[in-house]
Structure 1
Amino acid sequence: MITIYDIAKTTGFSPTTVSKVFNDYADVSPKTRRKILETAEQLGYLPNAHARSLTTKRSWTIGVLFNEPSGAGILHPYFAGVIEGFKKVSTSRGYDLMFISKDIGGKKSSYLEHCKIRGVDGVVVILPDFTDPYFLELLESNIPCVLLDQESDTKSTIYSDNIAGGILAVNYLHELGHRLIAHIGGGNTFAGEKRLQGYLQAMEGLGLPVDPEHVIQGSYDYTVESGRIAMEELLKASVLPSAVFAAGDNLAVGAMMAVKNQGLRVPEDISIIGFDDIEMVKFLTPALTTIRQDTYALGNKAADMLIYTIEGGEEVQSDMLPVELVIRESCRSL
């Protein structure tokens, strides 16, 4: 098997210099680098990732940037489904995944700097944070990116049909006879705003009044605790709603807890419907009726989009995946 020592002997450079070239050190002249790489190719030195890098000028590595403020990290149910779908496609196409942060070896840096240091070919951004200047710096760079749960004119995006999901939820509750339908929102997030928009559109379309006391914003991190606090506020309203549409399943779980803590029952006293269809909600008592988004398909499609851009595609793509109603036990007919 050809080694760096064979390349060193053929080119006349030291093994250290040859190693520096393959590890992309900057203190090697372009002429020396070119000769070593050409010799490596001629000798057939292609035993690892360097092989593809020599011929394709890519690292075959994709960065994963996940802005998740709740503290759940990779255990977050949205992330789990998305990353499994993304990994399935990207690894089948020969790419490895690497998590991107602003902290490299204890030193604070930017996402863009991290991407350049690691030489990633592109980045998938899950739940992008447009208030973060470091993220905006990455977005404005020429590194290929695909954004989940966001809209953009410059980068490809993929998200669920959140507006349709809100409409589905309200229409279903209306079919059950509910007229006083409240909403627990997902804060100032792309998905939260779209789901609120769907709720408002459906209420208007059905001719139902929207009581300001019945629209409570949960926090942008969609936590169970946030849902509990929001539901406690709803229970203080002068007229109680008969049903609640929560913008996320964790919010709905928190709302169910608050109802129980007040000595009330779901769905006998208040019906609750969520959004996401995370794994745990089917095991609740009562099992949660919800709007299902296909996080695995979101990850699949995001990988296809990003690899298309990495491999030379110039078109900025945008796609929206359908959602569906999953009926369980947390809503009842009036």
Structure 2
Amino acid sequence: MVSMKEISKRCNVSVATVSKALNGYTDIGEETRKFILKTAAEMGYFPNSSARALKTKRSYNLGVLFVDEALSGLTHDYFNHVLESFKREAEERGYDITFTNGRVSGRKMSYYEHCRYRGVDGVIIACVNFYSDEVQELVRSDIPVVTIDHVFDGRIAVVSNNISGIEKLVTYVYEQGHRRIAYIHGEDSSVTRNRVTSFYRTLQSFGVEPPEEYIREIPYRDADRAAEETAKLLNLETPPTCILYPDDYSALGGINEIRDRGMRIPADISIAGYDGIMAARILEPKLTTLCQDTEAIGKTAADKLIDLVEHPKTTLIDRYVIEGTLFRGASVKNINQ
């Protein structure tokens, strides 16, 4: 096994300098640090994780708490990309990832107990019931925590700008001439409340008051329920000219219902989704949607959690808002013409 002493001889620097380079200290020159890391890699050096943990008092292991009601796991399009970005950034900074599920060898543990059992340095919380007792216990604990798409007092949060996202989407639909705009939104959460408020507020700014029967609620990523609610909207005496869906996956259910009726998108009815999953871009016609910046969300969450672990006294507890971009697609008809 290659030692730091051997690396120091090869690089003609002290062992202390090698140690600083390998452990991420910033009080050495960047060129020196890169040269030492390159040399260490060429020599096949691998740090002893146990020795490093004893020295730094850290495990270099981050927990991920990710559970959604549909138990979709990493097939969840949006969070799959967020967590992949989180994982990539964490690994680049020398950390491993452990998923926290509250169960070890068949024994039930609380999320907090599982994090303690695994010895994680910090944990990211995404897509769970943030008001459950177990999550509340973890958030109130002494373990560094960063949440995604939910804000707790005294904790760092990384959130997609859902208010701006819906505003961009509704504004685009309005500019295409639509006034009868329906919104099938997700179940109650801070994300949903921000989106629904932004929906009403944006339409109000244009002098549009949507009828209550145009507003529907379904679970996120539920294509079957989306199809059912789409049918109800299309059966109204005065149906909408455009339907917004809570996510692109749900929009697929709406598309199926529309096509089963022999209707065409967007000639007979316009639709728009949310998230910007890859499937939306290969549909025909391409789905108009708001693309969330999953790369930036995951990277920011990893950076802030690691900063909190490594520099707890100087890392600001704040909310970091990530902007999305509108993908116009071809599923919203311009009815001004």
For normalisation by structure 2, the TM-score amounts to 0.83
Is the CA contact 1:127–1:147 (under 8 Å) kept in the aligned structure 2? no
Counterpart of 1:114? 114
Is the CA contact 2:126–2:149 (under 8 Å) kept in the aligned structure 1? yes
Is the CA contact 2:271–2:331 (under 8 Å) kept in the aligned structure 1? yes
How many corresponding residue pairs? 290
Percent of pairs identical after alignment?
34
Counterpart of 1:91? 91
Counterpart of 2:291? 292
Query: Structure 2 CA distance, aligned partners of 1:71 and 1:119?
Result: 25
Is the CA contact 1:161–1:321 (under 8 Å) kept in the aligned structure 2? yes
Counterpart of 2:272? 273
SS in 1 for 2:308: helix
Give deviations 1:62-93, integer Å, cap 9, x for gaps: 00110222232111111221112111211111
Counterpart of 1:35? none
2:281 is the alignment partner of 1:316: no
Query: Structure 1 CA distance, aligned partners of 2:193 and 2:261?
Result: 29
1:311 counterpart letter in structure 2: E
Q: CA deviation at 1:47?
A: 5.5
Is the CA contact 1:195–1:247 (under 8 Å) kept in the aligned structure 2? no
Structure 1, gaps ≥5 residues long: 3-45
Counterpart of 2:301? 302
| Runs of 4 or more consecutive aligned structure 1 residues displaced over 4 Å after TM superposition | none
Is the CA contact 1:227–1:250 (under 8 Å) kept in the aligned structure 2? no
SS in 2 for 1:244: strand
Query: Structure 2 CA distance, aligned partners of 1:47 and 1:178?
Result: 61
Give deviations 1:204-224, integer Å, cap 9, x for gaps: 0000111001000111x3222
2:170 is the alignment partner of 1:161: no
Q: CA deviation at 1:289?
A: 0.7
Query: Structure 2 CA distance, aligned partners of 1:222 and 1:190?
Result: 17
Counterpart of 2:328? 327
Q: CA deviation at 1:203?
A: 0.8
SS in 1 for 2:87: helix
SS in 2 for 1:275: coil
Is the CA contact 1:145–1:156 (under 8 Å) kept in the aligned structure 2? yes
Give deviations 1:92-150, integer Å, cap 9, x for gaps: 11100000011111011100000111110000111231232111111110100100011
Q: CA RMSD in A?
A: 1.6
Give deviations 1:251-279, integer Å, cap 9, x for gaps: 22211112112222211111001111001
Give deviations 1:155-207, integer Å, cap 9, x for gaps: 10011110111111111111111110010101112222211111111110000
Q: CA deviation at 1:54?
A: 1.2
Counterpart of 1:42? none
Counterpart of 2:178? 178
Counterpart of 2:198? 198
Query: Structure 2 CA distance, aligned partners of 1:126 and 1:323?
Result: 18
Structure 2, gaps ≥5 residues long: 3-45
Give deviations 1:36-74, integer Å, cap 9, x for gaps: xxxxxxxxxx96211111111001100011022223211
Is the CA contact 1:186–1:193 (under 8 Å) kept in the aligned structure 2? no
Counterpart of 1:81? 81
SS in 1 for 2:255: helix
Query: Structure 2 CA distance, aligned partners of 1:187 and 1:47?
Result: 47
SS in 2 for 1:333: coil
Counterpart of 1:5? none
- 1:190-269 equivalences in 2 (<5 Å): 190-219=190-219, 221-269=220-268
Query: Structure 2 CA distance, aligned partners of 1:131 and 1:193?
Result: 15
Is the CA contact 2:69–2:128 (under 8 Å) kept in the aligned structure 1? no
Query: Structure 2 CA distance, aligned partners of 1:237 and 1:131?
Result: 36
